Amino acid sequence: MSPKRQRLVVMHCDIVEFSRLTSQDEDATFHAVREGFKRAALVVSDHGGEVINTAGDSLLAVFPTALAAARTALGLQQYFALTNRKLTETERLRARIGIHQGTIVVQDDQAFGNDVNIAARLQKIAPPAGICISKSVRDAIDKNLEFEFKSIGVRALRHIAEPVSAFLLLSGHEVLDSTRESTQEIRPRLLVLPFAASTHDPALGDLGEALTVDLIGALSRFRELSVFAPHTALSYDNRYFDQRLAEQQLNARFMVNGALRRRRDGLRLVINLIEMPYGRYLWSEHCDFTEQNLAGAQDAITRRIVTTLVGNIEHRAGLPPSESPACLDYDAIIRARHLVYRMRGPADIDQAKGLFEKLCKTHPAFASAYSGLALSHLAQFLMGWASHPSRTLKQAAHAAQLALELDPADSGAHAAFGVTQIWHRDHDRAMNHLDQAVLLNPNDSDVSAARALGLIFRGKPLAAFTALESALEANPFAPAWYFWGLAISFYNSGQYRNAIDALQCIPVLNRFHRRLLAASYAQLGDTAKAIQERDQVMAEVPAYSVEDSRESQPYEHLADVDPFIEGLVAAGVPAPGHNPT
């Protein structure tokens, strides 16, 4: 009896530069590929497919539908992108994936037919971290609005008789035309380490960290630079930092470090600008100042760094002028900003709010005080620390509006107000402000991550993932709400394993994270873990029901919350008036 021919969708996956990776570190590459293909087998199964075989650096799988194959491919590329965050550029695994639909023969661990060969050839012409599909696959999934395609023309494939019309299924992180390398040359990446101080002088250490946060904020206004966010900077200790890490793991081109010391007549900051990878000092100098003229010192330091890195830069990007009334309380401003970005716990935010509220009273015409207050309220809301979330959200919106009345170009105020409008279900207004925030300061990773929240609740999880991945590149040690947003984007695109991975990046889980974990485990059929997470949620809020989440999730389209509700129900979260089983 001859083998049965079946109409299936074929996915061929291959690891990019496998030979180079193996020659660099055979054991590490073997382990990484093995773990990658283990995950691949699970994701294929999650979407109703079957792995036919794996051979070295390649994997072959078949699916009943083109949509299932496409979602699997996107899930795999997202997994590799998430895993690569922890690796240096030379260690990162990237895969090429080809997908084609046709009639094939499957027998044991082999698949035969011209359509299998077409999938393999499409894989060959995909870019690193890319997905290349045939027109038949594109046509089969075209009605699914979450996908974006790019035609790459009719291609003659090796040993394939007829040319194939090919498309890229865009994942947001495919490497096209060396864009990654050229962008880095144009916009060098800069890491500012916390300014060190004596361990016997904790107050001076806090001031050094606060100055670092403000310097990063000032530098991020210059589009010619790509500056790592304050959360990432504050995660390092200047005294024990390995310079090789900045160049290899963070891919930083330049690094700023410094030391803050007390003097009889004030303070001295010794500051260095270092070019990687050789650790070459571009310049090193000191700046003497008192706590009364901190603003002028920060202004001088910023301009010196920018001038050295960029050359003939346009200074109209906007450092605060020395005559600003806030300079009278510059110490309070930078300490409040430091607390917002340090975000070690609710106490930090409460203290920051107190400082900003005082500044608003003493300098009612200073927009940054209201903008900082808005961000403080918003951080409290997004981190799950607000005892009255709706009231906190209103306070954030009010403070942001006051900031925008005083300074319409305040990107942080635009971002904060935009996020509040998501929860007020005014999605057009929210995205207008979030888009404006990114336009005003594309270097601010918090602004980019906030815009990603807007995309999530507009029903665009794949675009949100791309925005969050970009924000995490600039802020690898981001606050928990980045990963919460990432997990929602994964969940809403059916990538439940990736959602769990993202949530597990959060050091301390709250009830909102655990609800999403419970739903994710339930969608994967892991009932025991789903119940475990559900029980922790219910122990904290015994009256919680699925309707609470339905009402609180600010989706533009009501149907978009249904998959989350389905997951919660599958985890045993009760409906009103019922106990979980």
> What are the pLDDT digits (tens) for 358-406?
989 988 888 889 999 999 999 898 888 888 999 999 999 999 999 999 9
pLDDT of residue 47: 94
* DSSP state at residue 559: G
Q: Start-end ranges of CATH 3.40.50.10070 in the chain?
A: 177-323
pLDDT of residue 327: 45
Superfamily of chain region 328-441: Tetratricopeptide repeat domain (1.25.40.10)
Q: At what angle do helices 480-492 and 511-523 cross, to 10 degrees?
A: 30
Helix/strand/coil for 266 = strand
- N- to C-terminal Cα distance for the chain? 50
pLDDT of residue 581: 44
Full 3-state SS string of 98-161:
EEEEEEEEEECCEEECHHHHHHHHHHHHCCCCCEEEEHHHHHHHCCCCCCCEEEEEEECCCCCC
Q: At what angle do helices 330-342 and 202-219 cross, to 10 degrees?
A: 90
| CB burial string 301-331: b at 16+ within 10 A, e below | bbeebbeebeeeeeeeeebbeeebebbebbb
Q: Start-end ranges of CATH 3.30.70.1230 in the chain?
A: 5-176
Q: Which pLDDT tens digits describe the chain residue by residue (581 residues)?
A: 456 788 899 999 999 888 888 888 888 888 888 888 899 999 999 999 999 988 878 999 999 999 999 999 999 999 998 888 777 767 788 999 999 999 888 887 788 888 889 999 999 999 999 999 999 999 998 777 678 899 999 988 888 888 889 999 998 778 765 444 444 445 678 888 888 888 788 888 888 888 888 888 878 777 667 888 888 888 877 666 766 666 666 778 888 888 888 888 888 888 888 877 667 777 777 788 777 777 666 677 766 666 655 543 333 333 344 334 444 466 677 788 878 877 778 888 999 999 999 989 988 888 889 999 999 999 898 888 888 999 999 999 999 999 999 999 889 999 999 999 999 999 999 999 999 999 888 888 889 999 999 999 999 999 999 999 888 888 888 888 999 999 999 999 999 999 999 999 998 898 999 999 999 999 999 999 999 999 999 998 899 999 999 988 999 999 999 999 999 999 999 886 554 44
Q: Start-end ranges of CATH 1.25.40.10 in the chain?
A: 328-441
Question: Which ranges of 249-345 would DSSP assign to H, the alpha helix?
Answer: 294-310, 330-342
Beta strand 131-134 pairing with 95-107? parallel
Order of strands across the sheet that contains 254-263 = 226-227, 189-192, 254-263, 266-275, 280-289
Matching CATH number, 464-570, of 1.25.60, 3.40.50, 1.25.40, 1.10.10: 1.25.40
Query: Contacts from 198-204 at CB under 8 Å and sequence distance 24+?
Result: 198/261, 201/262, 204/260, 204/262, 204/267
User: Is 5-176 CATH 3.40.50.720?
Assistant: no
pLDDT of residue 239: 66
Q: Which helix (H) or strand (E) holds 74?
A: helix 66-84
CB atoms within 10 A of CB 108: 8
**Residue whose structure tokens are 């270097």:** 443
- The span from the CA of 100 to the CA of 7, in Å, is 11
- The span from the CA of 424 to the CA of 50, in Å, is 44
Helix/strand/coil for 53 = strand
**Fold entry, domain 177-323:** Rossmann fold (3.40.50)
Q: Which helix (H) or strand (E) holds 78?
A: helix 66-84
- Strand intervals (E) in 200-359: 226-227, 254-263, 266-275, 280-289
> What are the pLDDT digits (tens) for 479-530?
889 999 999 999 999 999 999 999 999 988 989 999 999 999 999 999 999 9
Decide: 472 and 85 in contact? Cβ < 8 Å.
yes
